[in-house]
Structure 1
Amino acid sequence: MSNELLKVNIQKKLKEFDLNVDFELKKGCLGILGPSGCGKSMTLKSVAGIVNPDNGVISLTTNDETVYYDSNEKINLKPQKRNVGYLFQNYALFPNMTVEENVAIGLPKDYDEKRLTDMIKRFRLEGLEKRYPRELSGGQQQRVALARILAYSPDVILLDEPFSAMDTFLKEQLRIELSNVLKDFDGFSILVTHNRDEVFQFCDELLILDKGKIIAKGTTHDVFENPKKVQVARLTGCKNISKVEIIDDYHLKSLEWGITFEVAEKISQDITHIGIRAHDFLPAEKDDINSFDTINATKLEIPFEWQITLANGLWWKLDKKYMIMNL
């Protein structure tokens, strides 16, 4: 069994709140999801050595342990000593260097030309070698930045909202490309985002941050399937959330929607809310369990689905194909 492990346990006093994160990553990709200003990027910058925590430990164990930061032992490795690749939101390419010069910066001084050629080919940058960043599209700039990072074989890749400034078409293209890069990467990666689709696509493990505190962590699928907290449900994209009144072990009433639901699992007395994802509704017969009418609903058409808002406030997303075949 592999003992490779990235450990992060840090605290830092910030203007709006105190950052306090504690996690371990055993290879693969970890997602950090949360609203803007919750401490996501500060966590990445602490791992990279760009900012210093007030207290804590950051360490990487591969063949042996490398301590990046330890407040008690007064250890604080400089960023260039950490072998960490950081993909900034704006890619941070050197504007006065060509594509091949930007990529070569990531290689040792005595690098083999074949290594540079391989990286150019791998990231489909052939024909762009002599261009400068200002002459590249956003997607090309991202590929150059990734080539530069992977050229020096980092132990850890940090991705800080890499798709935030892109249009929808380019974003979809680059998500596929980055997904392939990460699958081939035999190391640790951390993706920071406020986009639930990105975290679901890329990340094996997930942390959810709110005002500097971890409010959920686990496998990505588990956190989405069972968010447990209202704020976690919202951040993972749940549109329908209501306070409830518990009736008995298997029935509860939504106070916002005025509907009584029957549930499959015994209801804990700690339950305060119910959440229903907008895609989880299906057309039903009137006497089916958990069925209700759609009188006075409003319907909004978007390219591939209908967004239906019921009179009681419930929000339903229904695939157009389903409506054509079944309604």
Structure 2
Amino acid sequence: MSLYVDIRKKLGDFRLETQFEAAEGVTGILGASGCGKSMTLRCIAGIVKPDEGYIELDGQVLFDSKKNINLRPQDRHVGLLFQNYALFPNMTVRQNLMTGLKAEKTGKKEAEIRIQEMLEKFELKGLEKHKPAELSGGQQQRVALARIFLSSPRVLMLDEPFSALDGYLRWNLEQELLETLKEFGGPTLFVSHSRDEVYRICDRVCVMDQGSSSPVIPVKQLFEAPESRAAALLSGCKNFARARVTEKGRVTVQDWGETLFYSGEHGPDTEDVRYVGVRSHYIGLMGEKEAAAQPENTFRCRIDRVIDDVFSTVLMVTPEHAENSQESRKNHFNRIRVETTKEYWREFCEREFADRENPQDTLWLHVNPADVMVLR
């Protein structure tokens, strides 16, 4: 099965322009709040009508603005799990599950068999007469999923399913959900603003930024070689600077006042490069002698602040030749965040600084060419 989406929708000043294809397995839609993720799911489900475009599921056209096709939500066989689960508050668990069979021509005997199967599958036995307010967050989610599966969906769409849960419950439900998704044969769309959730749960990912979607790529590629600053930011990168490629394999980083070598199979065309990104935990620390012996991609920085974080040490530094323009300062392009283990920072200070409690105000940073991301 596969799902193809190419739609446009305007709401006030916001414009949604999204195009992607999702095959079997879990495709993540990753983006910040307000970027159009939930709106995309509602358009696919038929709750919201796009202004124009085309949606096709497993060969069946769900929406085609040119041919005036717009199937009703109940005819699309799309399962959408809302953030708040959308259970009917005045109905019991059993009654909520029964609503999942309304679109199905199911006899009473078969309906009872299927409901019992779902109660068993989602560990809801004994809760049949409870109303949503009497259930925990995890139980509510299981009821909502059971209701969706009773409707025999051809595609499953999960809209930030863990956003309303605390950390411990979120982790446990994530493990349960992974088992459920393994049994579902069709495509699944998993909407989230959490890169960690997407990395653990999804096979592929589509990044959305201000209403526009990027091509679907393998999840690991997003983290190893994102193509845009927006994608790199969502994947957790914290260091960016304006840059341009002067020649293949070399990039001039304007805000750092340095020229760096870079490598990598993925990335935008050289003329499209506008930024570099470097992940804070991929940056190496060097002393003066080591820096002199390995000058490539090594540059001197001033230590602005040393932060003792819970599980690591964070250094905020400014390159020696950093640009001091308003644009650089406003966007923090001229500062670099370096993250290392507490043990390594202690050893580095003991090795390089005479007084560990009062380290010198400068050090050298080194970035491997493979860790320099050139970005749109």
Normalized against structure 1, the TM-score is what? 0.86
- Describe the superposition over 1:39-93 as per-residue Cα deviations: whole angstroms up to 9, x where unpaired: 21111001101011122221212xxx32212222222211111111110010011
* Whole-angstrom distance in 1 between the partners of 2:201 and 2:6: 23
Measure how far apart 1:279 and its partner are.
2.4
- Describe the superposition over 1:196-237 as per-residue Cα deviations: whole angstroms up to 9, x where unpaired: 222222222222222322244322222332222222222222
Between stretches 185-194 and 248-257, larger displacement belongs to 248-257
Residue aligned with 1:13, SS: strand
Between stretches 169-178 and 45-54, larger displacement belongs to 169-178
Aligned equivalent of 1:131: 130
1:244-255, aligned counterparts within 5 Å?
Answer: 244=243, 246=245, 249-255=248-254
Measure how far apart 1:32 and its partner are.
1.5
Between stretches 88-97 and 14-23, larger displacement belongs to 14-23
- Tell me whether 1:35 sits opposite 2:32 in the alignment: yes
- Tell me whether 1:316 sits opposite 2:323 in the alignment: no
* Whole-angstrom distance in 1 between the partners of 2:139 and 2:309: 30
Aligned equivalent of 1:301: 308
Determine which structure has more spread, i.e. the larger CA radius of gyration. Answer: 2
* Whole-angstrom distance in 2 between the partners of 1:149 and 1:100: 13
User: What CA RMSD, in Å, does the superposition of the two structures yield over aligned residues?
Assistant: 2.7
Residue 256 to residue 303, structure 1, CA distance change in 2 (3 Å): same
Aligned equivalent of 1:240: 239
Aligned equivalent of 1:141: 140
> Do the aligned residues in 2 keep the contact of 1:298 with 1:308 (CA within 8 Å)?
yes
The alignment-based identity, stated in percent, is: 42
* Whole-angstrom distance in 2 between the partners of 1:193 and 1:311: 33
Aligned equivalent of 1:159: 158
- Tell me whether 1:271 sits opposite 2:273 in the alignment: yes
Matched letter for residue 306 of structure 2: K
Matched letter for residue 34 of structure 2: G
* Whole-angstrom distance in 2 between the partners of 1:294 and 1:144: 55
Aligned equivalent of 2:14: 17
Residue aligned with 2:29, SS: strand
Residue aligned with 2:216, SS: strand
- Describe the superposition over 1:138-170 as per-residue Cα deviations: whole angstroms up to 9, x where unpaired: 122111111211223211111111122222222
Between stretches 67-76 and 108-117, larger displacement belongs to 108-117
Matched letter for residue 66 of structure 1: Q
* Whole-angstrom distance in 1 between the partners of 2:348 and 2:170: 33
* Whole-angstrom distance in 1 between the partners of 2:88 and 2:152: 20
* Whole-angstrom distance in 1 between the partners of 2:245 and 2:26: 39
Aligned equivalent of 1:172: 171
Between stretches 288-297 and 174-183, larger displacement belongs to 288-297
Give 5+ residue unaligned stretches, structure 1: none
Residue 121 to residue 319, structure 1, CA distance change in 2 (3 Å): farther
Between stretches 229-238 and 265-274, larger displacement belongs to 265-274
- Tell me whether 1:81 sits opposite 2:75 in the alignment: yes
> Do the aligned residues in 2 keep the contact of 1:216 with 1:232 (CA within 8 Å)?
no
Give 5+ residue unaligned stretches, structure 2: 320-334, 350-376
> Do the aligned residues in 2 keep the contact of 1:240 with 1:277 (CA within 8 Å)?
yes
* Match of residue 281, structure 1, among 279, 283, 297: 283
Residue 181 to residue 303, structure 1, CA distance change in 2 (3 Å): farther
Matched letter for residue 175 of structure 1: E
Residue 323 to residue 171, structure 1, CA distance change in 2 (3 Å): farther
Residue aligned with 2:303, SS: coil
Matched letter for residue 181 of structure 1: T
* Whole-angstrom distance in 1 between the partners of 2:65 and 2:238: 42
- Describe the superposition over 1:92-121 as per-residue Cα deviations: whole angstroms up to 9, x where unpaired: 111122223323332345335343233222
Matched letter for residue 308 of structure 1: L
Matched letter for residue 90 of structure 1: N
Aligned equivalent of 1:192: 191
In the comparison of the two structures, how many residue pairs are matched? Answer: 321
Residue 325 to residue 124, structure 1, CA distance change in 2 (3 Å): farther
